[in-house]
Amino acid sequence: MTSCPASLKRSFFVPHRFASRAIVGLAILLAIPAGSAWTQDSPLPPPPSSVPNGVPQNPQKPGGGPAEPPLVSTTGLVHLVVTVTDHHHNFITDLDKSDFKVLENGMPQDIKFFGRETDLPLRIGLLLDTSNSIRPRLEFEKDAAIDFLGKVIRRNKDLAFLMTFDNEPEVIQDYTGDLDLLMSAVRAQRAGGGTALNDAIVMASDKLAHPPLPKGPETEVRRVVVVITDGQDNLSDRALTDAIDASIRSEAAVFSVSTNTDWLAVDDATKPSKYHVEAGDKVLQQFADQTGGHAFFPYRIDDLAQSFLDIGTELRSQYFIAYAPANPPPTGQYRPIDVQTTRKGLIVSTRKGYYGAAPPPVPTGN
């Protein structure tokens, strides 16, 4: 029997009646992104990410202490969203700038900006698996997606688009903040065809690379792919590495809700007795690990309640780190990132690296 990490062992698909409560946790988590804490034993080759154009403002430091300098929009910076936990999965919220060390390509970097929490507008690509393999679970998908949209979309602030994928991906509803339009589009979906998951991730990432931006001086947004699927791709033209590459190039974190029920066998309805991680679940975890998202494998209701408490805590447990690379990579070159803490026994979760971006064009006179 294949073993799996403890964090994955505490997760599995919940029955339809629990879908609403499960997706609430996902909605809360997406308000502030977090990296996945489970590291693959044999990860994919490191995918890229572009250098972002700016970093968000920093709110008041928790605990009444002095706030860090505000994070201002600055070019040439790499910014990271970081979550820190202990080995009991408790979030560590009292770290300061001096408690972190950032390594790029193994070399220490100077942290320019440091902060906690953000309230960036969300740009969400919601992807529904409508293939034949998902037919028995499609109603769960639709209810979960509708509940998610109702919980996460904030009026006059967040935008989402709906995409389905079976034989090929298709944008059903383009960017909108109108919940009625989005929910109606979800309800109308039917199942049929193969599963082109990788192609869908690539298409969604391309749309998220150039989303509608907020009006005014602050134009930073948080790009998120939310995919509800069993992870079983059998028809894509693009490889898994292409999909992960596209996600991180667009700075989109991939969050997934697995609908796969085959990897868990139970003798007692209240206690799992056997674990078997399916290939699709591993794929969803790889997306999360490499992009700074999160993979959800809903478990029994008692553990869901605790998971929601953990997610609520995570909202107050984010760190933002921005640095200017001491030796910027050439355009297109991948640079791995390793964020560490000086405190012993803590686990740091963030994205794994980025690609060097092309310099901005030099203005020319008339």
286-321: b or e for each residue (b if 16 or more CB lie within 10 Å)? bbbbbbbbbbbbbbbeeebeebbebbeebeebbbbb
Tell me the residue length of the chain: 366
Task: Give residue 256's identity as a one-letter amino acid code.
Answer: S
How far are the Cα atoms of 101, 318, 321, 346 from residue 343, in angstroms, in the given order? 11, 17, 17, 7
Taking only Cα atoms into account, the Rg of the chain, rounded to an integer number of angstroms, comes to 20
Q: CB-based burial of residue 144 (10 Å sphere; 0-12 exposed, 13-18 middle, 19+ buried)? A: buried
How far are the Cα atoms of 89, 157, 164, 286 from residue 226, in angstroms, in the given order? 23, 18, 12, 14
Closest CA to 133 of 215, 59, 235: 235
- Give me the average pLDDT of each 10-residue run along the chain (366 residues): 39 41 49 37 40 36 41 64 82 89 96 78 91 84 80 87 97 97 96 95 96 86 85 94 91 80 54 63 91 72 42 57 91 90 90 78 58
Classified as helix, coil or strand, 156 is coil
Task: Give residue 300's identity as a one-letter amino acid code.
Answer: R
Name, in order, each residue with C-beta under 8 angstroms of 4's C-beta and a sequence gap of 6 or more. Answer: 275, 277
Which pLDDT belongs to residue 112? 93
Q: How far apart are the first and last CA of the chain?
A: 70
Domains of the chain: 23-32+120-297 (3.40.50.410)
Q: Which two tokens stand for residue 210?
A: 């150039």
Which pLDDT belongs to residue 80? 83
Which pLDDT belongs to residue 365? 56
Helix, strand, coil shares, percent, the chain, to 5: 30, 25, 45
Which pLDDT belongs to residue 69? 40
Task: Give residue 135's identity as a one-letter amino acid code.
Answer: R
Q: What's the rounded Cα separation, in Å, for the pair 312 and 307?
A: 9
Q: Which two tokens stand for residue 299?
A: 């478990």
